Amino acid sequence: MAKKAKAGGAKPVEELSVKEAKAEHVRLELEIALHDKRYYQQDAPTISDADYDALRRRYEAIETQFPELHSLTSLTRKVGAAPSGKFKKVRHAVPMLSLGNAFSEEDVAEFVERIRRFLRLSEKDELVITAEPKIDGLSCSLRYEAGKLSVAATRGDGAEGEDVTANIRTIKDVPETLKGKDVPDVFEARGEVYMTKADFLALNKRQEKEGKALYVNPRNTAAGSLRQIDPRMTAERPLKFFAYTWGEASELPAPTQFESVAAMKRWGLPTNALMKKCKSVEELLKHYRKIEQERASLPYDIDGVVYKVDRLDWQERLGFVSRSPRWAIAHKFAAEKATTVVKDIDIQVGRTGKLTPVAKLEPVTVGGVVVQNATLHNEDEIARLDVRVGDTVTIQRAGDVIPQVLGVVLEKRPKSAKPYKFPHVCPICGSHAVREEGEVDRRCTGGLICPAQEVQTLIHFVSRNAFDIDGLGEKQIEFFFEKGWVKQPADIFTLEKRNKTLKLEKEEGFGETSVRNLFNAINERRKIALNRVLFALGIRHIGETNAIRLARHYGTMEALRDAALAAGKGDAEALSEMNDINGIGEVVAEAVIEFFKEKKNMKALDALLGEIEAEPMEAVAKDSAVSGKTVVFTGALEQMTRDEAKAMAERLGAKVAGSVSKKTDYVVAGPGAGSKLKEAQKHGVQVLSEDGWFKLIGKK
């Protein structure tokens, strides 16, 4: 189980009260969203994969234990992060999802067991599962129409990716035309774009010779190469591709995973030769070990083994749970470790005033990457590890993230090393740094007088998932802030008007053109989705997901503000309405109310709204017959299991409830339905048979 500092709470999930679970769910959601952004968009992750996985696991465990916290916008439904905006956007016809993880042999056995249960297989029924390497690259979807490559897109946030067709065409591995009589009219081949280890090393040698910065690892380099604006740059960096699954397909070449991959190979797509069909957990693990042994000698980086149910009709029945298929899982390899010396412990101050300790390390190579920093998370983690300046520590890195400190090698501790005293004042503004009861983090109380927080708030405001203004990043914001030109968000939008006197183009690094481009980029953002504005404001607990929830519920900033102000003045109805929004709850609602109560915030918001227009948000899956409806399934369903039914309804935008009330729109009843059927009749709720349900959603 995850450590306290990693997963944010020592209490086992089963022991959490509803209130605690809600609060932790919100906190984890925020934290995960932040790490997603750092990893997927900024290429600058700050925690290890293992830590990230621990956060995810706890988040998922909370949702399993408290299903009421699981909503349509739950992070468990999200993959990666939204596209960065450099390229044209491509909406995926079939979402590009992620994989759940297995870390131990028990996890693998459980995965297989779960599948058998879900499909109601008897011991005699054979269950074939494929096992293949998990390539450490970035996933891409290649759309072929009439056998010709038409569009290639990155995964992005799973729903929408970036159009990288021109760049993909430079990859020699990727055929322009698929060959064969059975190539479907439409076929989206999906797989991993990667760089071989040899090509990566050669590229770095060249960089070194030319005195340029070195790349960190093949995965990052492949990602960077594919996202080059100029395809000629991509062509200079040799990328490769493995196809391992598909998206939209007008028809499928075979009834199994294994044969379908074989068909892709016949059509000319590169596939991985290490894929094997296995008939038991033992066989899966045997193949896992074989691949692990070969890992170092493979020409490309891998970080685990992926298992997939072979029969496609079973994959279809198993469907998806949130962001990953039930029919597949990634069995990860253990992380890589090394020892080094802690030179210093630095304290960084974030946007919310949070003090984060970072160990400054004697540079050391772990898994081919030079590591100089490791996060120490918080005060408790330092105390738990008793890390001291001068200590030799074991560090671990998995993937391309800032590593974590696993522990201290006590035998090597210098006599002079003193226990680390966590500062009680902010290193930036000198204000008190306090730790509230029940919180793991110490925070600076300087609020807006703390430059770190002010600047961080502005940096957050222009970040990718917020206002995302081209040419206005951390460096520029810091510069404008120091100059006193931008103190609050609205100032960004008045820069152009003020530029007659500011004369930005005269400053070093800003030519006429770049200033023009900057103002154009700012003006482009004068009309922007409400949820982005809400997220950008940096309200505590309002990450992207909660911003979407609020935007969807209230529709406009005015409606949200009125509701928050009313709730703040004691209007019980307004308060309970906000609390009741799926996934919001008391802690988040309180943060929103507090934000709107604060005069300073209102002034800043008004100034901002004088410059921009926040567009209302559209609801999900609007076109489905059941979107927004509340459905209750009861009785013995015969054509689908209860889990399948629930997943299907939620996919279509419906909310699935456990009990019938007057808010219920449909009760889907199978044989043997009892009290819920009676309740439905009492409230006049429409009752459907399973067939009726399928008809309603257009599947029969």
111 lies in the site for ligand IVH, by CB under 6 A: no
Catalytic residue among 37, 134, 655, 676: 134
Site for ligand IVH in 137-156 (CB under 6 A): 139
Alpha-carbon gap, residue 442 to 260, rounded angstroms: 53
| Residue 418 CA: distances (Å) to CA of 388, 413, 421, 444 | 6, 10, 9, 25
Instruction: Give the one residue of 47, 82, 112, 135 binding ligand IVH; rule: CB under 6 A.
Output: 135
Q: How far is the CB of 321 from ligand IVH (least distance, A)?
A: 11
76 lies in the site for ligand IVH, by CB under 6 A: no
Nearest residue to ligand IVH, scored by beta-carbon proximity: 139
Q: In this complex, which beta carbon is closest to ligand IVH, that of residue 271 or of residue 634?
A: 271
546 lies in the site for ligand IVH, by CB under 6 A: no
393 lies in the site for ligand IVH, by CB under 6 A: no
245 lies in the site for ligand IVH, by CB under 6 A: yes
Q: In this complex, which beta carbon is closest to ligand IVH, that of residue 168 or of residue 626?
A: 168
Q: In this complex, which beta carbon is closest to ligand IVH, that of residue 130 or of residue 476?
A: 130
**What is the DSSP-derived secondary structure letter of residue 617?**
P
The 310-349 contact track toward ligand IVH, x by CB under 6 A, reads ---------------x--x-x-------------------
Interior CA angle at 232 toward 228 and 233, to 5°?
Answer: 45
| Residue 481 CA: distances (Å) to CA of 115, 459, 516, 608 | 55, 10, 20, 17
271 lies in the site for ligand IVH, by CB under 6 A: no
Alpha-carbon gap, residue 584 to 542, rounded angstroms: 9
The 272-311 contact track toward ligand IVH, x by CB under 6 A, reads ----------------------------------x-----
> In what helix (H) or strand (E) does residue 585 lie, and over which residues does it extend?
helix 585-597
Q: Annotated catalytic, 134? A: yes
Q: How far is the CB of 29 from ligand IVH (least distance, A)?
A: 20
CB-CB contact of 271 with 299 (8 Å)? no
Q: How many residues bind ligand IVH (CB under 6 A)?
A: 14
Q: How far is the CB of 405 from ligand IVH (least distance, A)?
A: 25
Residues whose CB falls within 8 Å of the CB of residue 104, separated by 6 or more in sequence, listed in order:
none
Q: In this complex, which beta carbon is closest to ligand IVH, that of residue 592 or of residue 648?
A: 648
**What is the DSSP-derived secondary structure letter of residue 178?**
-
The 188-207 contact track toward ligand IVH, x by CB under 6 A, reads ----x---------------
Q: How far is the CB of 100 from ligand IVH (least distance, A)?
A: 8
Supply the DSSP string of 130-171, one letter for each residue: EEEEEESSEEEEEEEETTEEEEEEE-TTSSEEEB-HHHHTT-
Which span (10-18, 134-142, 542-550, 635-643) binds ligand IVH, by CB under 6 A? 134-142
How big, in percent rounded to 5, are the helix, strand and coil portions of the chain?
40, 20, 40
CA torsion sign, 64 to 68 to 71 to 74?
A: negative
Alpha-carbon gap, residue 416 to 390, rounded angstroms: 8
- For the CA atoms of 117, 119, 125, 131, the dihedral, rounded to the nearest 10 degrees, stands at -90
Q: How far is the CB of 192 from ligand IVH (least distance, A)?
A: 5
Site for ligand IVH in 219-238 (CB under 6 A): none
Q: In this complex, which beta carbon is closest to ligand IVH, that of residue 52 or of residue 461?
A: 52
φ, ψ dihedrals at 332, nearest 5°: -80, 150
The size of the chain, in residues, is 700
Q: Diameter of the chain by CA atoms?
A: 82
Q: How far is the CB of 99 from ligand IVH (least distance, A)?
A: 4
Residues classed as catalytic: 134
Positions touching ligand IVH (CB under 6 A) are 97-99, 132, 134-135, 139, 192, 244-245, 306, 325, 328, 330
